[in-house]
Amino acid sequence: MNTVLDILDVSVGYSRHSPLFEHINAQLVSGTVTGLLGPNGIGKSSLLRTIAGLLPPLKGSIKSGMGGEKGHSCAFVPSQPLRAAHYSVRDTVSTGRYRYTNWLGIEDREGKQIVENALERTGIKHLADRNSASLSDGEFHRVAIARAL
C-alpha cells in the first residue's frame, strides 16, 4: 500500500505557547480508513484542518506521498458545511473541481463525468437537480463529501 500522507513531529494549535497537540507522527495509507476520536473541544477539527493544509502546523511537517501539492490529494469536509443558496446539488459538487476548470470556470467532459461519479458514489445522484438549500442536514453532508471527492 502507498503512503498518502506522512505526518512528522507535528504540533497543532493557534499559539506556540499553548498547542492543542504536540509530537504527532502518523502515516496515512491508501486503501485504509483512519478514524480520529476524542471529546468535544479537544482540537480534532484543528488537527484535520492542519492535515488538509488549511491551518499551518506550529512545528513539524506534513508531506504528501502522492506527489505534487498536498491540496491535490487531501480534502476537508467540515462538520457544518456552508450552503450556497440557489445552487443545485450538481453545481455545489462541481465547485470542488473549480481548480480544474478553464479560465471561465467551465468544466470539460471528463470533469462532468467525475462530478457524476461523485454523486453516484455518495448515493445522491437522485438529488442532483434539487436546490442544495432544500436538503436535510444529512443529505447536504453527503453533498459536501461528494464535493470533496
Please give the chain's pLDDT, 149 residues, in tens.
788 888 999 999 998 888 999 999 999 888 888 888 999 989 998 998 898 888 999 999 998 876 554 445 677 787 788 887 889 999 999 988 888 888 887 888 999 999 999 999 999 999 999 999 999 999 999 999 999 98
Instruction: Kindly report the pTM of this predicted structure.
Output: 0.71
Total count of domains within the chain: 2
Q: What is the DSSP letter of 102?
A: -
Q: Is 123 within a domain?
A: yes
Question: What distance in Å separates the CA atoms of residue 11 and residue 19, rounded to the nearest whole number?
Answer: 7
- Torsion angle in degrees (nearest 10) through CA of 12, 37, 48, 56: 0
100/51 same-domain check: no
Please say whether the beta carbons of 97 and 115 come within 8 A. yes
7/38 same-domain check: yes
pLDDT of residue 130: 96
Q: What is the extent of the structural domain holding 113?
A: 89-148
